[in-house]
Amino acid sequence: MSHLPDGGKSLDDLRARVDEIDARIHAALMERAEAETDLAAVLGSTGENGALYRPERDADTMRQMVERHQGKLPLTTAEHIWRDIICACSGLDRETAVHLDGSADLIDMLDLARFYFGFSVDLVPGSDASDVVGAVAASTGDLGIVALADRAELPWWRGLSEAGAQVRARLPFVVLDERPADLPALVLARADSLADTADIAVYDARWSDLLPGKLMDQGIEVLSFFRSARGVDALLAISGDLREDEVLKACAAAGAEPDVLRRVGGYAAPIDGDTEDTFDSEGGESQE
């Protein structure tokens, strides 16, 4: 039997401990899967659908994970493991596809999708962001991932609606320096109604002139914009605590009230994994 220096435990003892921990982890995974099946049965009996993706609950789970995380295991490793477990257990009795924005780099999109949704879902590359919006809207429970570009090739967010696809999450959720799967993106999903409890609200805004230059000063982030001869379309992010009329006033204070303003979703504020503080979505510069 091999012993470590200074009277430490033997290699056999340490390996036996690892084996025992592995057995407990495996047993806990089986128990969690069974609990998820029971939860889905209860939801079904009440007429509710147990959706694969529950962004508000997932965000709470991730926040708790970040708060209790310590030790040498990288935070992104723990995040990926938890997300894979959550999605695998939630999708035990349903078939769900994740549609990918074909206008972005395919490898980056695949890395992002596998990191957040694991290997238990089908990945379906689309031609572009509008294709993803249409696929999610036409499905009963599919998800979509659209890459965020400062200047979009088309105003794909015009296809978002309360009755169809909506913005439900922003990726990456845990913001870390030099993290894997760091492509900025939005997750699209269907919902019974627009989530009015999201930390950040997302709006489709349209101006017949230039984009106001001081939106950031009013706490408004331009997620993406599209300019044409008829004006400019923008996808905006702002505090979910504000009413629509307050958002209009903020735009007016920034330079001009939009001709069109529609809420098209919302998401939980990302976490700054380096400081464990909630990441403020106000940032970036507007483009004119």
pLDDT digits (tens, 9 = 90+) for 94-113: 678 999 999 999 999 999 99
Give yes or no for a contact between 284 and 216, defined as CB atoms under 8 angstroms apart: yes
Give yes or no for a contact between 185 and 139, defined as CB atoms under 8 angstroms apart: no
Residues 6+ apart with CB under 8 A from 97: 121, 122, 123, 124, 139, 142, 143
pLDDT confidence tier of residue 9, bands split at 50, 70 and 90: confident
pLDDT confidence tier of residue 212, bands split at 50, 70 and 90: very high
Task: Please report, to the nearest 10 degrees, the dihedral formed by the alpha carbons of residues 216, 221, 224, 228 taken in order.
Answer: -40
Q: What does the alpha-carbon distance between residue 96 and residue 238 come to, in Å, rounded to a whole number?
A: 30
Domain-wise residue ranges, the chain = 51-278
| DSSP alpha helix (H) spans, the chain | 11-45, 55-68, 75-90, 106-117, 129-138, 244-254
pLDDT digits (tens, 9 = 90+) for 144-180: 999 999 999 999 999 999 889 999 999 999 998 889 9
Hey, how many other C-beta atoms are within 10 angstroms of the C-beta on 216? 16
| Full-model pTM | 0.85
